[in-house]
Amino acid sequence: PNDASQLVVGTASGSVVHLSRFAGTVSPREYCIGPALGQRVAMVLHEQVGAAVSCIAFHPKLDDYFLVGYATGTIALFHTLSAMPLRKWEMVTSSLPSTATGFAPVSAVRWSTDSDSAFYVMDGAGQLCLWDLATSADSPILQLPLTVRGRTPEACDAPLLDVSSSLVRTAAPSIATADSDGS
């Protein structure tokens, strides 16, 4: 949030809890893509748990907006004044086996530092997607399967490193990425 005394924490049940270090209460108290807190508690008692939050990224310039990535492959765009998302998307990946659901967990979301409407999403199947809401609000404008030394992350038992929008730059029609050892 734009107030340094406030923070947001993603939970395994799928909500993002909004807290203040000094003030008693903040509004909204939580952000979620599913049912409200009371309904979710009842669902948990019946073993229906929401999707875990895997990552959160605040917009670098428009600090009232933030993205949340979920373990189910969902991405949600929130405004700090609204408990429900402004928009949500499902990350469908073709790099999963045909028997899988088609959704890979979101492992990183980052806003572009070059464009206010663009953001990057990396999923657990090694796919990097570039979304530009000014171009298309429904789907990514670029999907790129990434590999680690020529193999998918699953094949070498090494997760892809976090994507950093300060390191990832687009230049039509290519995109450059790097891991921690510079390759």
How far apart CA 160 and CA 127 sit, in angstroms, is: 10
Mean pLDDT of the chain: 75
Give the Å distances, CA to CA, from 9 to 29, 31, 56.
11, 10, 9
Which pLDDT tens digit goes with each residue over 8-55?
899 988 889 998 888 778 889 899 887 544 444 444 444 444 589 999
Average confidence (pLDDT) over 152-181: 48
Q: Residue 127 — very low, low, confident or very high, per pLDDT cuts 50/70/90?
A: confident
